[in-house]
Chains A and B, each alone.
Chain A
């Protein structure tokens, strides 16, 4: 065999290996989803969605967990979105290229890399103890807001960056002020991108368990939270709790709850992808 033939053979071999590697992740994903559905799908019924937790696996439901998750999503949105978008707008539209701006940028990149459980420690001390919120929904939402803030800021900046200079110039030429330009031109034009980032950040928040466990969210909550100061549990914590029990029946419950959690995650991501494609197609500068 000549050198050239050998090299071509190696080339082919790597191609096969490449296909193999690309599919191994997808195959594992498929096995996993099928396994979860086989195990949990039959457990999902109306009672499962509307029952309180119970010591008996067959009677336990996820009512408190999904209501808690919904509360957390809404509160986190209300806190994190205005803050994150405002910070993104400031960094992209207002701030000058100073040392301070540079520092802010590095700092935000750093925050994005801080493990979620560290945010839990921060939330427990700051919101739980110093502000006296304990293990309440509000403390949890504040903690998760800090966690997703860097994602919102970064995606807001990217969306705003994509708006061409000429739009701003045209607005200024008509006599609009900086804020008028930002509010009436730049933000509407970057709306799609900002929404995409926001929904992705929510899908991140919905799956988080670690920081909420640290601030003291409970594994067993026998009531549905009705105000932001109530104690709560969320779906991922409920899943964790059921997974760590020895009885097999609880694993079935966990699988069923996972199906619900994955549905929420996939729907959120689906909306984000849809928005991204829609805006990419519609807006042609």
Chain B
């Protein structure tokens, strides 16, 4: 059954099937597209789990968690994930130490002090920081920031967690400032005006009223920024080094979980070997971190979201 319903002077809708069936088919296809997202999650978990299970049948999980050396590519093999986790946490901590004070101050400044026009111009400019590809940040950290810091700290190695962390912090400033700014501007005017009415300065209003009222949104922004920093790859692969080391010293080369995966991928490790499986063990560790952080942020958003009417 093929008929055309004319509408004005164009064919409006060609019907191959009766309308009712056509509608069902389309709805089915749309549903399928949405359900594919669940399959993606399932596939990620399946891929990480199946290779990791094989890995852990050869390496004990106790060694994996407690050994303080990670040398799967050397003759004398150790499979302790801790040096990689330490490297990841070190760069993340430095990044947050840079991004949180600056990002939160920007959010407060734009909301409580800056004229509306200024805010409208500055916000998109800051967002540019978030659109720059991360390899580019890596280049920046390695060729500009590290030499600059070496002028101040002569013992700084060519690859180090410090400059990678600082540059990563700059990269995630817009994430914290934007999300915190949204949270602060969602606090109703009446609260701010009440604080002014009590004779508070803008600073007292900001830290006494607005920031506490927006605290759940600010915490969410920080958690998402941490999650982003933990999963960041190219920046640290370029600037932080490839030497797994259980240390809190930001001046020496380290290796993050993500860098290790890149390092192995670039090399010639045969498929199905134990070395090959290490990247999935590292991957599942990374996935657990970010999965936990993301869900923590959803939970906080849901539970502590202040409702104002």
Contacts and interface: CB of A to CB of B under 8 A. Distances in A.
Contacts of B97: none
B283 A118 contact: yes
B238 A240 contact: yes
Interface stretch (A7-15, A49-57, A70-78, A162-170): A7-15
B52 to A, nearest CB: 11
Nearest to B131: A269
A207 B133 contact: yes
> Which of A35, A89, A113, A146 is most buried by chain B, counting CB atoms within 10 A of its CB?
A113
Contact of A179 (B22, B40, B133): B22
Interface in B126-149: 126, 128-129, 131-136, 138-140, 142-144
A210 interface: yes
Given A32-B144, A258-B136, A22 B37 contact: no
Interface stretch (A102-110, A188-196, A225-233): A102-110
Interface in B73-123: 101-102, 105-106, 108-110, 113-114, 122
Contacts of B110: 22
B198 to A, nearest CB: 12
Contacts of A121: 44, 47-48, 261, 279-280, 283
A90 interface: yes
Given A18-B108, A209-B135, A240-B138, A86 B262 contact: no
Nearest to A146: B40
Nearest to A240: B135
B47 A265 contact: no
Given A32-B144, A89-B30, A25 B173 contact: yes
Chain A interface size, under 10 / 10 to 19 / 20 to 34 / 35 or more: 35 or more
Interface in B197-216: 201-204, 206
A28 B122 CA distance: 14
A67 interface: no
B34 interface: yes
B41 A86 contact: no
B135 A243 contact: yes
> Which of B110, B135, B143 is most buried by chain A, counting CB atoms within 10 A of its CB?
B135
B56 interface: no
Given A26-B126, A265-B133, A177 B19 contact: yes
B201 A10 contact: yes
A178 B23 contact: yes
B271 interface: yes
Interface in A230-285: 236, 239-240, 243-244, 251, 254-255, 258, 261-262, 265-266, 269, 273
A118 B37 contact: no
Contacts of A178: 23, 27
B304 interface: no
A83 B30 contact: no
Contacts of B13: 180
A19 interface: yes
Contacts of A86: 29-30, 33-34
Given A11-B202, A25-B102, A29-B128, A244 B261 contact: no
A107 B20 CA distance: 31
A15 B202 CA distance: 9
B59 to A, nearest CB: 18
Q: Which 7 A-B pairs have the closest CB atoms?
A: A115-B231, A207-B133, A18-B109, A86-B33, A90-B30, A210-B233, A113-B294
Interface of A: 7-8, 10-11, 14-15, 17-19, 21-22, 24-26, 28-29, 31-32, 35-36, 39, 82-84, 86-87, 89-91, 94-95, 103-104, 106-111, 113-122, 124-126, 129, 146, 149-150, 153, 177-180, 184, 203, 206-210, 213-214, 216, 219, 236, 239-240, 243-244, 251, 254-255, 258, 261-262, 265-266, 269, 273
